[in-house]
Amino acid sequence: MSDSAAVIIGAGSSIGSALCQRWQRDDAVSRVFAVSRKLEADDENNEESSIIKIHSDYTEASIYKALETIKTLMLENHLQTISRVCICNGILHNDNVWPEKRIEELTADSLLEVFTINSVTPMLWLKALITMVKSPSDCVITVFNARIGSIGDNRSGGWYSYRASKAALNMLLKTAAIEYARRAKNVKLISFHPGTTDTALSKPFQGSVKKENLFTPDYVAEHLVAIMNTQQVDGELSFIDWENKAIVW
């Protein structure tokens, strides 16, 4: 049995949940720490399961508290390293936010909300994680992004807040990769586009998607786990899709 752990942030999402189930069946990972704001703080864990649920509301204080809990649980379970991290959280729409078709639809409030969730929150996790993942053993960290965050691939316009927040995330991740390469040389960072997945996030926009291009969360999780298993630590940020194909910046 492995002495390493996987951490899934945004484990309440469809893909996050699929990743939990996949790593639960993987002998390379001994424990899965499933972090989600959707979990109640007193949510009970099943002692027979390798998945340990942890609550966080994604404020900076809550992030550090969640990681301190993970650190304590790793000691209790004799786990030496964190070998996998997935940061799955993100927003495309909710009751207050919707992708803009015209520039007149932009508002400061929607921009700030989308940037906070899509750009700021993942970086707060990376900030808090850097000392925890530093190890002699390799660690692969995947942050969920989107092809629509590619500046070079933007040919149709629109979706200002979402596009910009994902493009900003790439710059933040690139900068973090440079620092991680100095301070945590064992870490590989991935900016990952899962494709159009059959989730609540994409549901309103699935009408124009061909059936063969609409993926299940399990399909995406299977591909991502395989990609993470084959990554080489090179000090670089990789911007790739579910087929492990590079995306233009």
Domains and CATH numbers, the chain: 4-241 (3.40.50.720)
pLDDT digits (tens, 9 = 90+) for 120-149: 999 999 999 999 999 999 999 999 999 999
Residue 42 binned pLDDT confidence (cut-offs 50, 70, 90): very low
CA distance 201 to 14: 10
Nearest to 166 by CA among 152, 145, 151: 145
- What is the pLDDT averaged over residues 20-35? 92
Decide: helix, strand or coil at residue 157: coil
CB half-sphere exposure, 131, CA atoms < 13 A = 5
Instruction: Convert the pLDDT of each residue in 177-223 to its tens digit.
Output: 999 999 999 999 999 999 887 776 666 655 666 666 688 999 999 99
Q: Two tokens at 42?
A: 């007193």
- Whole-number Å distance between alpha carbons of 98 and 106: 10
Tell me the backbone φ, ψ of residue 72, rounded to 5 degrees: -65, -45
- Portion of the chain with pLDDT greater than 70, in percent: 90
* Cα–Cα dist 150/42, whole Å: 40
pTM: 0.92
Show the beta-strand stretches assigned E in 56-169.
81-87, 139-144
